[in-house]
Amino acid sequence: MEISDWRARIDALDEEIVKLISRRAEAARAIGELKRTSSLPVYEPGREQAVFDHVRRVNPGPLNEAEIQHVYERIVDVMRTLQKRENEERIR
């Protein structure tokens, strides 16, 4: 394969990843709404650690455990921000 072929493959994979992240965000929004109506905190460090433990456990590589966790730390941070923003908008 040529570099252009690999780049086309990466573009296609990125499109799939964006769709999956969007689906994850929809789930996070729903959870955020349940947290709001149940007066639960947005930040749940135990749950976040469970997510990190899970993705490290199912990670097939080639990223190592620390690298895949780093990716997920950012994803979880963005999802937490989404929940906070939506909660603030509903309070207004």
- pTM value is 0.90
pLDDT tens digits, one per residue of 41-86:
999 999 999 999 999 999 999 999 999 999 999 999 999 999 999 9
Boundaries of every domain in the chain: 3-91
Burial 23-56 (b: 16+ CB within 10 A, else e): eebeebeebbeebbeeeeebeeeeebeebbeebb
Q: Report pLDDT for 17.
A: 98
Question: Considering only the top CATH level, what class is 3-91?
Answer: mainly alpha
Residue 26 has pLDDT above 70, yes or no: yes
Band the pLDDT of 92: cuts 50, 70, 90. Answer: low
pLDDT at 41: 95
The pLDDT value recorded for residue 27 is 98
Q: Return mean pLDDT, the chain.
A: 96
Cis before 62? omega within 30: yes
